[in-house]
Every structure is written in structure tokens, then in C-alpha cells.
Amino acid sequence: MTSKGYILSPEAQNSLHQIQVYSMAHFGRKKTKYYLLKIQHRMQSLAENPLQGLLRKELHAGYYSSFIESHTIYYRIKPTHIEIIDVLHQSMEPSRHLDG
């Protein structure tokens, strides 16, 4: 199963912005850019092969996740793309931050 791309939910957009702000303050521009590119590449890889993620049955139906360093990408598979639900730090409990 392949899809063409991904769409970021408003929550995912906000989380990526927060990751950028935090990373800039703590790690600088170069590391921030590198990290955000790694996340972007992982999202594209998931869009091209969405079943490579882990099905998260304990969350909402149809949710998948994929780890990338300190964060986890949560997404669901749609017929033509994947929807990135959110990008959470691994210390965050997903059931408290992901809506159904």
C-alpha cells in the first residue's frame, strides 16, 4: 500500500512549531534544521510506506506511530495520503494528547 504524501493536522503543525522553538533555544539553528529535516523525511517515508509504523490498538482505531529520536509521529492512513495527527515528545502520554 502506498500513498502520495501526508497532511499535517493543526495539532501536528503546532507541535512542530514548538519543537522548532525549543530546539532553537537549546541546540541552535544548525541542529534544529537537521532535526526538523529528519522528522520531515520520516513523515515522507511513512507516506510512501504507511504500514512500516506500529499499529496502536491501545489508542484510537486506525492510529499508527513511528519513533524518531526523542519524538513519536502519530498518524492514520487515508486512501490517498496519511494524516499526521501529532508529533509528541516520547515523555508525553499519547492517550492524554490525542483526540479520537
C-alpha distances (whole Å) from 48 to each of 27, 45, 80 are 30, 5, 11
- Point out which residues pair with 97 in neighbouring strands: none
Whole-number pLDDT of residue 80 = 92
Report all structural domains of the chain as residue ranges with CATH numbers, in order of start.
Answer: 6-95 (3.30.2310.20)
pLDDT of residue 70 exceeding 50: yes
Whole-number pLDDT of residue 100 = 52
CA distance 67 to 90: 8
CA distance 24 to 5: 27
Q: How many residues can be counted in the chain?
A: 100
For the chain, the average pLDDT equals: 90
Mean pLDDT of 51-72: 91
Whole-number pLDDT of residue 89 = 85
Dig out the grid coordinates for 21 from the structure.
522553538
